[in-house]
Amino acid sequence: MAKRVGIEVSIAIAEAVKLADADVIPAYPITPQTHIVEHLSELVANGELDAEFIPVESEHAAMSACCGASAAGARTFTSSSSQGLSLMSEILYIPSTMRLPIVMVVANRALSAPISIWNDHQDIMVQRDIGWIQTFAENGQEAVDLTLHAFRVAEDRKVSLPMIVNIDGFTLSHVIEPIEIPDQEEVDKFLPPFKPRYKLDPRKPISMGPVGVPEVYTEAKVALDNALKASKRVVLKAWDEFAEIFGRKYNPVETYRTEDAEVLLVTMGSISETAMTAVDAMRDSGQKVGLVRIRLWRPFPSVEFRKAAGKAKVLAVIDRCLPPGAVCGPVGEELRSLFYKVPGAPKIFSFVAGLGGRDVTVERFEEIVDKAKAYAKRRPKELYEVIGVREK
């Protein structure tokens, strides 16, 4: 039987990677991800996990080593955050088109300057278009479950794409939660051994990563786009299988009290739990408010999102990322495109909140809902609004 224990989420993620029996872990420490790879290095050092732990000299090297290891047919894991993820950037675009199923947990953190080690989603939004499958966890249990799910999906022969599990830095990574750590037997049932379609093998030589002349580059990128979109089926199937084995069911988009709701908050990650508390409070005071949470960010679950939120009158979308000079935050943009010219589509208002570790409280969610309601009657001057920002 699986054990329910009080455990730091980072340590629990490392335990999940151990249960997945990763073969190669090239990693570089960076706050707030460090505890994940630190614990993995201990597991390897004391012989609990039979894997190659490569203490690389930078994140750029970490992702490069991941590509090599995965190409050689090894189950490969790494973890990063913020500036480290940015340093990986050059390499991040490579394993997706090359179909290398690396799994990475990103403990989301703000980007400098000013220097901030605290949580928001700017680091991953910079990497939105790297062609990886991406999910966002809400709590510690989900972080563990999505990590196991990521190996299952990424390595599926129909998918063979790298995958990121986003967890909020500190809010999740450093919190001790009651988490059910799955049994090895159950994990083995859920996650078959990694059998890549192609690997680097001197007995059967192939070349990976050749030049793409203008005659083939477009086709290579379209092939990736299609593979990423097609991966959704396996993402869903793996969640079904996960539910059968572990009893916890996940969906690409989750709803909370959305029935008859006029205003829906839209969130990603751990602020969704506070948002649920806020929804309860607003429902208690008679307001028709609900919550839609995006768990699968790439490939974007368009059909599921339309189904979950299409009937509401107003969407209040919260981005934990401020893209300077843009029309609005990335999630806001995504949803405006999704509902563009759809008859009867909800009015979408974009908010930016929770940057660099600032808490998004129940009161902030109430403020956002109030504003969205007012804007639905009278168009706002700006295309998005930063919540809780001081002027003086």
* Distance in angstroms (rounded) separating the CA atoms of residues 250 and 238: 10
Shortest reach from residue 129's CB to other proteins, in Å: 18
The residue (of 113 and 206) whose beta carbon lies closer to other proteins is: 206
Shortest reach from residue 191's CB to other proteins, in Å: 22
The residue (of 98 and 316) whose beta carbon lies closer to other proteins is: 98
Name the nearest CA neighbour of 279 among 295, 269, 267.
Answer: 267
Shortest reach from residue 205's CB to other proteins, in Å: 4
The residue (of 226 and 277) whose beta carbon lies closer to other proteins is: 226
The residue (of 208 and 338) whose beta carbon lies closer to other proteins is: 208
Shortest reach from residue 237's CB to other proteins, in Å: 21
- The residues that touch other proteins, with contacts defined as CB under 8 A, are 97-100, 160, 197-198, 205-210, 212-213, 215-216, 218-220, 222-223, 226
Question: What residues have CB less than 8 Å from 213, skipping those under 6 apart?
Answer: none
Taking each helix axis as running N to C, give the angle between helix 82-97 and helix 59-71, from 0 to 180 degrees, rounded to the nearest 10: 30
Type of residue found at 309 = A
Type of residue found at 387 = I
Ramachandran angles phi, psi of 261, nearest 5°: -70, 140
Shortest reach from residue 68's CB to other proteins, in Å: 14
Q: Are strands 253-256 and 176-181 parallel, antiparallel or unpaired?
A: unpaired
The half-sphere exposure of 315 on its side-chain side, counting CA atoms within 13 A, is 28
SS3 282: helix
Structure tokens at 252: 């690409």
SS3 227: helix
- Find where tokens 């790297």 sit: 130
User: What beta strand segments (E) does 117-168 contain?
Assistant: 133-136, 163-168
What is the H or E stretch that residue 108 is in?
strand 103-108
The residue (of 76 and 171) whose beta carbon lies closer to other proteins is: 76
Identify the bridge partners of residue 222 per DSSP, sorted by sequence position. none
* 5 within 8 A of 178, measured Cβ to Cβ: yes
The residue (of 160 and 258) whose beta carbon lies closer to other proteins is: 160
Name the nearest CA neighbour of 12 among 236, 190, 165.
Answer: 165
Shortest reach from residue 21's CB to other proteins, in Å: 24
The residue (of 50 and 129) whose beta carbon lies closer to other proteins is: 129
SS3 334: helix
Shortest reach from residue 222's CB to other proteins, in Å: 4
Shortest reach from residue 226's CB to other proteins, in Å: 7
The residue (of 185 and 217) whose beta carbon lies closer to other proteins is: 217
